[in-house]
Amino acid sequence: MRQPSWPTSEANLERPLSGIRVLDVSRVLAGPLCTMVLADLGADVVKIEPPRGDETRRWGPPFHMDSAAYYYAANRNKWGVSLDLKDAHDRHVFDELVGAADVVVQNFPQDVAVRLGTDYESVAAANPRVVHLTVSGFGPEEPDRRGYDVIVQALGGIMAVTGEAGGPPVKVGFPICDIATGLYGTIAVLGALRTRDRTGSAQQVEVSLYDSSVSLLTNQAMNWLLCGEEPTRLGGDHPNVTPYGTYPTKDGFIVVAAGTEDQFLALVGCLELDDLLTDPRFTTNANRIAHRDELRALLTSAFAGRTTEDWQASLAAAGVPSATVRDVSAALSAPEARTVTTVTHPDYGDIAQLMTPILVNGSYLEPYLAPPRLGEHNGLVGHE
């Protein structure tokens, strides 16, 4: 099989994955996020979209130019190609790309993947050295079961521990299961590439939204698995450390994280609640957890007397970890927001992006290609 032309960028030459070719046949978020991180790390990624485009192009408002803002979150540094895998000519182009790829990433349900030829068996038959990643909802035991972030947050325990005490379950305010699955997918591909290079044979890896959701329970899972304690919703509080959460002030909110005994002593001194130091209910973290509600009531009363700015200054001076609650615009405009940048599209101009938060030799991996228009690079990907 002759090699199709596979575009590359000079920006990748010194990056860790330089020379790796990734064929992205995924859509929405988990798969595209995985391939975007691989592209940031230097892989040459060709994104295949159906004639209607990735679903996230239509997930708006808001919209930027001809696609929803959502699409721009996970598709930079890719060469965009539109193919109808049911069309014989387009199918031939796709098959040749499969034969030239180091990695193929797809997230169709198994029945669709087999029909389109994006499943592992089909891809490995065409390319015996390929790394094949499937992103699924519920893993190989339920290959045709569709997965959606909010559904998996509900089924996977995340909503059970998110929200105010006594209130309804709440999903995390961003698609945390999709994001975690995409990042686990990146890790899986990197490990599989290492094995492929050592053995010379195709590698099959898979990550699912449900497995990723459960993995995020971390300490909450251990509270039940090891101790039989069913985690509950605690609002901004921490299940294993207190005081560690959000408190109302005279004009807003302050977040406090007194994770050590020294920090608790400093907090008590700052709040002028010295009696708490000899109160047996609060002398250890375990005691404070047992009397969480009483401690919260005392701290809430004290915090209500001053403004957030006043408390922030006092707590910082006392060495107590604390923060104001920023909105998204403030978080993205803050001095700490070092990964906010832009990438230039030849037709659209500068497009804002959030860089992958990895420093390589002291520098972030700046974007080199704007998220492509639908089919933008059809003329660059094909036969040489």
> Could you write out the DSSP letters of every residue in 127-176?
-TT-EEEEEESS-TTSTT----HHHHHHHTTTGGGSS-TTS-----SS-H
Show which residues are catalytic: 178
Using DSSP's 3-state secondary structure scheme, residue 255 falls into strand
Torsion angles phi and psi, residue 352, rounded to 5: -65, 145
Other Cβ atoms within 10 Å of 13 Cβ, number? 10
User: Considering only CA atoms, which of 206, 174, 172 is closest in space to residue 189?
Assistant: 206
Query: Which amino acid would we find at residue 252?
Result: G
Separation of alpha carbons 147 and 126, rounded Å: 28
- Written as six digits, the tokens of 167 are 């209130």
Torsion angles phi and psi, residue 229, rounded to 5: -90, 120
Other Cβ atoms within 10 Å of 39 Cβ, number? 30
Separation of alpha carbons 366 and 355, rounded Å: 7
Is residue 330 classed exposed, middle or buried when 0-12, 13-18 and 19+ CB atoms within 10 A define those classes? exposed
- Written as six digits, the tokens of 245 are 């959460």
Q: What is the DSSP letter of 70?
A: G
Residue pair 381/23 in contact by the 8 Å Cβ criterion? no
Per-residue three-class SS string for 301-369: HHHCCCCHHHHHHHHHHHCCCEECCCCHHHHHHCCCCCCEEEEEECCCEEEEEECCCCEECCEECCCCC
